[in-house]
Amino acid sequence: MRSDHDVLLVIDVQNDFCPGGNLAVPGGDEVVPVINRLAPEFHHVVLTQDWHPAEHSSFASRHHQKSPFDTVDMHYGPQTLWPDHCIQDTHGAAFHRDLDIPQAQLIIRKGFRHGIDSYSAFFENDRTTPTGLGGYLRERGIRKVVCVGLAFDYCVRFSAEDARRLGFETEVITAACRAIDLGGTADAARRSFAEHGVALT
């Protein structure tokens, strides 16, 4: 068993990020059995769930003459535009059916505000609006955050870096992640992890 001061943070293992989904991460479903094997080692498990309203501002469909993966300037900075995905109460937003973590203690929903996207489990993309997860983990005596899930170079990256920024020891288990890898974003994530002191195992 892992220390009672460790938490497994399972990030966005949802249908739309798996093969056949609206924003499928290559091999996204391959993380499920790995995570299912890891989870029983932890006393504390938290899940995150992308949870967008139907007309979210990060959807390319909401921007005239823009396509998925274009970038636009939002009030909080540059924003990648995505295909419509993980819309509240849809099949795409549901967790993958084979994800088996009944002992998870908390689900953090993110991206539910219409005007701002949220990659990190800790902060929205303005980098200042908190989800409350940091306070929750401190109240529970957590010292180390272990990140797994989808996608390695977006929501896993932002979550891990914010965990470090908040003072938690942070680890990313690469076998339990998959990347979108838009123009080298996976390598950029690895370099950034090294700079921020995030351990890759």
For the annotated catalytic residues, the residue numbers are 12, 110, 155
Phi, psi of 144 (to 5 degrees): -130, 135
